[in-house]
Amino acid sequence: PSKLPEPFGNVVLEAMAMKKPVIANAHGGCMEIVKDGTTGYLVEPNNAALMTKKLASLIKDPEKRKKMGLEGRRKVEEEFTLDKNKEAIVSLYKEILGEEII
C-alpha cells in the first residue's frame, strides 16, 4: 500500500481485474475503488497491526479470498472498462456542450 494518497489506484484495479482481494490504505482514490469488506479491505494509513490482521484473515479463509476476488472483478467489469470510460467522457462533453457531439 502507498503511504501517500494516490488520486487513482491503477495497481488496485489491476489486482481486482485478476480476481485478487485488495488491502489498501484508506485514503486517496482507493477509497472510491475498494469496497471495504466486499472487494477487499481499507485500513488506516500506517496501521501495520490492522493491515496484518486483515491479511491474516484472508490467508486463513480461501473462500473469503475467492469471494472478494470475484466481487472485485465484477466491480472492474461494471465500472472501469474502456467502454465505461468512453461513456463517461462522452456524457461529460454532452453536458458541457449541451448538444449531440457524436
Q: In which band, very low, low, confident or very high, does the pLDDT at 8 lie, cut at 50, 70 and 90?
A: confident
User: Mapped to the 3 state alphabet, what secondary structure does 15-60 carry?
Assistant: HHHCCCCEEEECCCCHHHHCCECCCEEEECCCCHHHHHHHHHHHHH
Whether pTM exceeds 0.75: yes
pLDDT-derived band at 2, boundaries 50, 70, 90: low
CA 21, 39, 31 angle in degrees (round to 5)? 110
CATH topology of domain 10-72: Rossmann fold (3.40.50)
> Domain boundaries in the chain?
10-72
- In this predicted structure, what is the pLDDT of residue 102? 59
Q: Kindly indicate the confidence band of residue 9, based on its pLDDT and cuts at 50, 70 and 90.
A: confident
pLDDT at 93 over 70: yes
Q: Is the pLDDT at 99 greater than 80, yes or no? A: no
